[in-house]
Structure 1
Amino acid sequence: MKPHRRMRRGGRAERGARPAKVPPPGELTGMDVVLVGYFSAKERHYLVIMDEFASAVAALGAQVVGRFVQRRGVSDGGARTMDAPYSSRTLVSAGKVEEIALVRERTRADAVIFLNPLTAHQVETLTGLFNCPVLSSQDLVP
Protein backbone atom coordinates (compact mmCIF):
# COMPACT_ATOMS: atom_id res chain seq x y z
CA MET A 1 0.00 0.00 0.00
CA LYS A 2 1.42 3.35 -1.08
CA PRO A 3 1.63 6.12 1.53
CA HIS A 4 -0.78 9.00 1.08
CA ARG A 5 0.83 12.03 -0.53
CA ARG A 6 0.08 15.64 0.31
CA MET A 7 0.73 18.27 -2.34
CA ARG A 8 3.35 20.92 -1.64
CA ARG A 9 3.65 24.28 -3.29
CA GLY A 10 4.74 23.80 -6.86
CA GLY A 11 2.66 20.64 -7.25
CA ARG A 12 5.11 18.19 -5.67
CA ALA A 13 3.74 15.55 -3.34
CA GLU A 14 4.91 15.09 0.22
CA ARG A 15 5.37 11.44 1.19
CA GLY A 16 3.90 10.05 4.36
CA ALA A 17 1.17 12.64 4.84
CA ARG A 18 -1.83 11.26 6.69
CA PRO A 19 -5.03 10.77 4.71
CA ALA A 20 -7.77 13.29 5.43
CA LYS A 21 -10.65 12.01 7.54
CA VAL A 22 -13.91 11.80 5.59
CA PRO A 23 -17.03 12.58 7.62
CA PRO A 24 -19.80 9.97 7.76
CA PRO A 25 -22.63 10.45 5.21
CA GLY A 26 -24.97 13.25 6.20
CA GLU A 27 -22.72 14.43 9.07
CA LEU A 28 -21.19 17.84 8.46
CA THR A 29 -22.01 19.53 11.76
CA GLY A 30 -19.51 22.25 12.62
CA MET A 31 -17.50 21.86 9.42
CA ASP A 32 -16.44 24.75 7.20
CA VAL A 33 -16.76 23.69 3.56
CA VAL A 34 -16.06 24.94 0.05
CA LEU A 35 -18.65 24.06 -2.60
CA VAL A 36 -17.90 23.38 -6.27
CA GLY A 37 -20.33 22.95 -9.15
CA TYR A 38 -19.49 21.95 -12.71
CA PHE A 39 -22.06 22.94 -15.33
CA SER A 40 -22.57 22.79 -19.07
CA ALA A 41 -23.16 26.14 -20.75
CA LYS A 42 -26.62 24.76 -21.63
CA GLU A 43 -27.57 25.02 -17.92
CA ARG A 44 -28.95 28.53 -17.50
CA HIS A 45 -30.04 28.18 -13.86
CA TYR A 46 -26.70 27.12 -12.42
CA LEU A 47 -26.73 29.84 -9.74
CA VAL A 48 -30.12 28.67 -8.46
CA ILE A 49 -28.83 25.09 -8.36
CA MET A 50 -25.75 26.22 -6.39
CA ASP A 51 -27.95 28.17 -3.95
CA GLU A 52 -30.07 25.05 -3.35
CA PHE A 53 -26.92 22.97 -2.89
CA ALA A 54 -25.54 25.48 -0.36
CA SER A 55 -28.84 25.38 1.55
CA ALA A 56 -28.82 21.57 1.64
CA VAL A 57 -25.22 21.51 2.93
CA ALA A 58 -26.03 24.15 5.55
CA ALA A 59 -29.03 22.06 6.66
CA LEU A 60 -26.55 19.27 7.44
CA GLY A 61 -24.75 21.60 9.85
CA ALA A 62 -21.88 22.90 7.71
CA GLN A 63 -20.91 26.49 7.12
CA VAL A 64 -20.19 27.34 3.48
CA VAL A 65 -17.04 29.47 3.35
CA GLY A 66 -16.51 29.40 -0.42
CA ARG A 67 -18.36 28.64 -3.65
CA PHE A 68 -16.97 27.93 -7.11
CA VAL A 69 -18.66 27.37 -10.44
CA GLN A 70 -16.93 25.90 -13.49
CA ARG A 71 -18.90 26.24 -16.73
CA ARG A 72 -17.99 24.31 -19.85
CA GLY A 73 -18.79 25.21 -23.43
CA VAL A 74 -18.86 28.96 -22.88
CA SER A 75 -15.48 29.25 -24.58
CA ASP A 76 -12.48 27.05 -25.40
CA GLY A 77 -14.17 24.54 -27.68
CA GLY A 78 -17.77 25.72 -27.65
CA ALA A 79 -20.74 23.42 -28.17
CA ARG A 80 -18.82 20.23 -28.93
CA THR A 81 -17.24 20.21 -25.46
CA MET A 82 -20.23 21.37 -23.40
CA ASP A 83 -20.85 18.10 -21.58
CA ALA A 84 -17.26 16.89 -21.31
CA PRO A 85 -15.19 17.41 -18.12
CA TYR A 86 -12.22 19.72 -18.36
CA SER A 87 -10.06 16.99 -16.90
CA SER A 88 -10.69 13.30 -16.26
CA ARG A 89 -8.31 13.68 -13.26
CA THR A 90 -10.02 16.59 -11.54
CA LEU A 91 -13.31 17.27 -13.42
CA VAL A 92 -12.55 21.03 -13.39
CA SER A 93 -9.74 22.98 -15.06
CA ALA A 94 -6.25 23.26 -13.56
CA GLY A 95 -6.79 26.98 -12.98
CA LYS A 96 -10.01 26.32 -11.07
CA VAL A 97 -8.23 23.69 -8.95
CA GLU A 98 -5.63 26.31 -8.01
CA GLU A 99 -8.34 28.85 -7.11
CA ILE A 100 -10.20 26.32 -4.96
CA ALA A 101 -6.99 25.20 -3.22
CA LEU A 102 -6.07 28.79 -2.41
CA VAL A 103 -9.47 29.59 -0.88
CA ARG A 104 -9.54 26.26 0.97
CA GLU A 105 -6.17 27.08 2.50
CA ARG A 106 -7.06 30.71 3.35
CA THR A 107 -10.37 29.78 5.00
CA ARG A 108 -9.00 26.59 6.55
CA ALA A 109 -12.08 24.77 5.27
CA ASP A 110 -12.48 21.22 6.55
CA ALA A 111 -13.70 19.78 3.24
CA VAL A 112 -14.45 20.51 -0.42
CA ILE A 113 -17.81 19.26 -1.66
CA PHE A 114 -18.64 18.88 -5.34
CA LEU A 115 -22.22 19.04 -6.53
CA ASN A 116 -21.30 16.59 -9.28
CA PRO A 117 -20.53 12.88 -8.94
CA LEU A 118 -16.81 12.12 -8.77
CA THR A 119 -14.89 8.98 -9.61
CA ALA A 120 -12.72 7.33 -6.95
CA HIS A 121 -9.66 8.50 -8.88
CA GLN A 122 -10.92 12.11 -8.95
CA VAL A 123 -11.59 12.02 -5.20
CA GLU A 124 -8.11 10.67 -4.53
CA THR A 125 -6.45 13.24 -6.80
CA LEU A 126 -8.43 16.20 -5.47
CA THR A 127 -7.93 15.13 -1.85
CA GLY A 128 -4.18 15.25 -2.44
CA LEU A 129 -4.35 18.61 -4.21
CA PHE A 130 -6.60 20.26 -1.61
CA ASN A 131 -5.10 18.49 1.42
CA CYS A 132 -8.56 17.84 2.86
CA PRO A 133 -11.47 15.44 2.32
CA VAL A 134 -13.25 15.80 -1.01
CA LEU A 135 -16.85 14.68 -1.26
CA SER A 136 -19.58 14.75 -3.87
CA SER A 137 -23.22 15.51 -3.17
CA GLN A 138 -23.85 11.76 -3.50
CA ASP A 139 -21.68 11.19 -0.41
CA LEU A 140 -23.98 13.35 1.69
CA VAL A 141 -26.95 11.00 1.40
CA PRO A 142 -27.04 8.64 4.40
Structure 2
Amino acid sequence: MHQHRRRDRRPSARRNPRPADPPKSLPGLDLTGADVVIVGYFSAKQKDFALRMDAAAADLTARGARVVGRVVQRRGVSDGGVRRMTLPYSSRTLLSSGKTREVAALREESGADAVVFLNALTEHQRRVLTETFGCPAVSLS
Protein backbone atom coordinates (compact mmCIF):
# COMPACT_ATOMS: atom_id res chain seq x y z
CA MET A 1 0.00 0.00 0.00
CA HIS A 2 1.34 3.38 -0.98
CA GLN A 3 0.67 6.33 1.29
CA HIS A 4 0.95 9.92 0.22
CA ARG A 5 2.40 12.40 2.59
CA ARG A 6 0.78 15.75 2.72
CA ARG A 7 3.24 18.56 2.32
CA ASP A 8 3.17 21.37 4.83
CA ARG A 9 2.30 24.44 2.78
CA ARG A 10 2.93 27.04 5.44
CA PRO A 11 5.46 29.67 4.39
CA SER A 12 8.89 29.04 5.78
CA ALA A 13 10.54 31.54 8.09
CA ARG A 14 13.11 32.21 5.39
CA ARG A 15 10.53 33.33 2.81
CA ASN A 16 8.33 35.18 5.27
CA PRO A 17 10.63 36.81 7.82
CA ARG A 18 9.15 37.95 11.10
CA PRO A 19 10.74 40.67 13.16
CA ALA A 20 12.81 39.19 15.96
CA ASP A 21 12.74 42.35 18.03
CA PRO A 22 9.75 44.55 18.76
CA PRO A 23 9.67 47.60 16.49
CA LYS A 24 10.87 50.93 17.79
CA SER A 25 7.85 53.16 17.66
CA LEU A 26 7.14 56.84 17.94
CA PRO A 27 6.05 57.21 21.56
CA GLY A 28 9.68 57.40 22.75
CA LEU A 29 10.63 60.08 20.22
CA ASP A 30 9.54 63.68 20.68
CA LEU A 31 8.82 65.14 17.25
CA THR A 32 7.55 68.51 18.45
CA GLY A 33 8.86 71.05 15.98
CA ALA A 34 10.61 68.38 13.89
CA ASP A 35 10.48 68.16 10.12
CA VAL A 36 9.65 64.60 9.06
CA VAL A 37 9.35 62.52 5.91
CA ILE A 38 6.69 59.82 6.06
CA VAL A 39 7.09 56.53 4.23
CA GLY A 40 4.44 53.89 3.58
CA TYR A 41 4.91 50.38 2.19
CA PHE A 42 1.69 49.00 0.70
CA SER A 43 0.61 46.00 -1.35
CA ALA A 44 -1.34 46.58 -4.53
CA LYS A 45 -4.40 45.20 -2.74
CA GLN A 46 -4.37 48.14 -0.33
CA LYS A 47 -6.34 50.71 -2.30
CA ASP A 48 -6.67 53.09 0.66
CA PHE A 49 -2.96 53.93 0.84
CA ALA A 50 -3.52 57.65 0.17
CA LEU A 51 -6.02 57.86 3.03
CA ARG A 52 -3.61 56.04 5.34
CA MET A 53 -0.80 58.43 4.41
CA ASP A 54 -3.12 61.42 5.04
CA ALA A 55 -4.12 59.99 8.44
CA ALA A 56 -0.45 59.50 9.37
CA ALA A 57 0.35 63.06 8.32
CA ALA A 58 -2.56 64.37 10.44
CA ASP A 59 -1.38 62.28 13.43
CA LEU A 60 2.19 63.57 13.11
CA THR A 61 0.99 67.15 12.73
CA ALA A 62 -1.13 66.75 15.87
CA ARG A 63 2.04 65.61 17.68
CA GLY A 64 3.76 68.84 16.64
CA ALA A 65 5.75 67.59 13.65
CA ARG A 66 5.83 69.19 10.23
CA VAL A 67 5.53 66.75 7.32
CA VAL A 68 7.97 67.88 4.62
CA GLY A 69 7.71 64.86 2.32
CA ARG A 70 5.89 61.63 1.58
CA VAL A 71 7.10 58.48 -0.16
CA VAL A 72 5.01 55.45 -1.08
CA GLN A 73 6.43 52.03 -1.99
CA ARG A 74 3.87 49.81 -3.71
CA ARG A 75 4.31 46.05 -4.02
CA GLY A 76 2.54 43.74 -6.44
CA VAL A 77 1.70 46.35 -9.04
CA SER A 78 4.05 44.91 -11.67
CA ASP A 79 4.22 41.38 -13.09
CA GLY A 80 6.00 39.07 -10.69
CA GLY A 81 5.38 41.34 -7.73
CA VAL A 82 1.98 39.86 -6.96
CA ARG A 83 3.48 36.59 -5.69
CA ARG A 84 5.65 38.47 -3.22
CA MET A 85 3.20 41.18 -2.15
CA THR A 86 3.28 40.38 1.55
CA LEU A 87 7.08 40.29 1.76
CA PRO A 88 9.36 43.30 2.15
CA TYR A 89 11.51 44.21 -0.83
CA SER A 90 14.52 43.97 1.43
CA SER A 91 14.88 42.43 4.88
CA ARG A 92 17.50 45.13 5.61
CA THR A 93 15.47 48.18 4.63
CA LEU A 94 11.88 47.04 3.94
CA LEU A 95 12.05 49.10 0.71
CA SER A 96 13.62 48.52 -2.68
CA SER A 97 17.12 49.94 -3.10
CA GLY A 98 15.84 52.63 -5.49
CA LYS A 99 13.11 53.72 -3.10
CA THR A 100 15.62 53.79 -0.23
CA ARG A 101 17.81 56.15 -2.30
CA GLU A 102 14.76 58.28 -3.10
CA VAL A 103 13.88 58.62 0.59
CA ALA A 104 17.51 59.46 1.47
CA ALA A 105 17.63 62.15 -1.22
CA LEU A 106 14.30 63.64 -0.10
CA ARG A 107 15.45 63.61 3.53
CA GLU A 108 18.67 65.41 2.64
CA GLU A 109 16.99 67.89 0.30
CA SER A 110 14.28 68.77 2.82
CA GLY A 111 16.56 68.70 5.87
CA ALA A 112 14.09 66.45 7.69
CA ASP A 113 14.94 65.54 11.27
CA ALA A 114 13.39 62.03 11.08
CA VAL A 115 11.91 59.50 8.69
CA VAL A 116 8.67 57.97 9.97
CA PHE A 117 7.44 54.65 8.56
CA LEU A 118 3.78 53.67 8.69
CA ASN A 119 4.95 50.05 8.83
CA ALA A 120 6.59 48.28 11.73
CA LEU A 121 10.37 48.13 11.45
CA THR A 122 12.59 45.49 12.97
CA GLU A 123 15.43 46.69 15.18
CA HIS A 124 17.87 45.78 12.40
CA GLN A 125 15.89 47.73 9.77
CA ARG A 126 15.69 50.72 12.10
CA ARG A 127 19.48 50.72 12.61
CA VAL A 128 20.27 50.31 8.89
CA LEU A 129 17.80 52.99 7.83
CA THR A 130 18.95 55.41 10.52
CA GLU A 131 22.52 55.02 9.27
CA THR A 132 21.46 55.30 5.62
CA PHE A 133 19.32 58.41 6.11
CA GLY A 134 21.57 60.13 8.66
CA CYS A 135 18.62 60.71 11.00
CA PRO A 136 16.30 58.58 13.14
CA ALA A 137 14.12 56.11 11.21
CA VAL A 138 11.13 55.19 13.35
CA SER A 139 7.85 53.36 13.03
CA LEU A 140 4.45 54.94 13.54
CA SER A 141 2.87 51.57 14.33
Question: Which TM class, normalised by the smaller chain length?
Answer: 0.7 to 0.9
Aligned equivalent of 2:64: 61
For structure 2, the residue ranges without an aligned partner over 5 or more in a row are 1-25
| Contact 1:26-1:60 at 8 Å conserved across structures | no
Supply the AA of the counterpart residue of 1:34. Answer: V
- TM-fit CA distance, 1:79: 1.9
**Residues 2-40 of structure 1, C-alpha deviations (whole Å, 9 max, x = no match):** xxxxxxxxxxxxxxxxxxxxx862621100000000001
- TM-fit CA distance, 1:82: 1.1
Q: Give the structure with the higher percent strand.
A: 1
Supply the AA of the counterpart residue of 2:112. Answer: A
Equivalent residue pairs, number: 117
Q: 1:43 aligns with which of 41, 46, 66?
A: 46
Supply the AA of the counterpart residue of 1:84. Answer: L
Q: 1:77 aligns with which of 62, 75, 80?
A: 80
- TM-fit CA distance, 1:76: 4.8
Aligned equivalent of 1:124: 127
Q: After TM superposition, what 4+ stretches of structure 1 lie above 4 angstroms from structure 2?
A: none
CA distance in 1, matches of 2:78, 2:89: 12
CA distance in 2, matches of 1:52, 1:24: 17
**Residues 55-111 of structure 1, C-alpha deviations (whole Å, 9 max, x = no match):** 001100000000000000001523211111100000010000101100100111000
For structure 1, the residue ranges without an aligned partner over 5 or more in a row are 1-22
Aligned equivalent of 1:10: none
- State the structure with more CA Rg: 2
TM-score (norm 2): 0.79
Q: Secondary structure at the match of 2:116?
A: strand
| Contact 1:66-1:103 at 8 Å conserved across structures | yes
Report % sequence identity: 58
TM-score (norm 1): 0.78
